[in-house]
Amino acid sequence: MTLFDLFQKCISVPYENAGVSASYAFKRVGGTLFVFFQGSDGKNDWLRNFNFPAKPYKRMGKTVWFAHRGFLKTWKEIEPKLAPELLDKSVDKIVISGYSHGGALAMLCHEYAWYHRADLRARLKTYAFGAPRVFWGVKTNELKKRWNTFTLVRNLNDFITHLPPSFLGFSHMGRLLKIGQRGKYTPIQAHLSQNISTELKAIENAPLRERKKQPCMS
């Protein structure tokens, strides 16, 4: 499956709702579990998109980090629905994807799977398309390792991928894959699913060196 194929499934799969603004889907193909998160749908999503950092767990020991409170609250609404699938020992590979608001949830789902499924960390892959920043206060390399197999796909100047502002302390984790052509889209146009699809299709057969991933630093 190419990134183009994965994104098409992510934006077209039938979703189930959990809570106020939590939409998810999953599918088993053999031993592989595919998990999808829907993009923003309605004002409740965006009211939650601008919120403040919170601890994801009550007992974190020395590995303290924070996440955007709105996204975290939404993930906690979905977590009980997906936990049985993610923790199923017959699953030997997990592929997670999400678009926009759903990309933020994909990041938190990735961390949950990484933490609870140490047996398949090397077979955990997550792709967030046009996702906003989620994490706050993640500084140590030991913590950053949790997102080694996480990829943010950014259509160049997509404005959503720059929110919340980094000067407030928020950051991306994992690796960054840049797609698109500079100057082709406005920051708003770059976020539209049809334009992300166009650019993913354009690199479908591109040499690997043209799709080199970089550390998420922004």
Half-sphere exposure of 178 (CA within 13 A, CB side): 12
Contacts (Cβ under 8 Å, ≥6 apart) of 85: 26, 28, 33, 35, 91
Per-residue pLDDT, 158: 92
Q: Which residue's structure tokens are 């999808």?
A: 36
Per-residue pLDDT, 148: 86
Pairing verdict, β 150-155 and 124-129? parallel
Q: The whole model's pTM is what?
A: 0.84
Q: Yes or no: say if 170 and 164 are a contact pair by the CB < 8 Å rule.
A: yes
Residues of the chain with pLDDT under 50: 43, 46-47, 208-210, 217
Please give the DSSP secondary-structure letter assigned to residue 80. H
Q: Which domains, and CATH codes, for the chain?
A: 3-215 (3.40.50.1820)
Helices and strands in the chain, H and E counts: 6, 12
Per-residue pLDDT, 63: 64
Interhelix angle for 193-202 vs 3-12, to 10°? Answer: 160
Per-residue pLDDT, 22: 78
Per-residue pLDDT, 62: 59
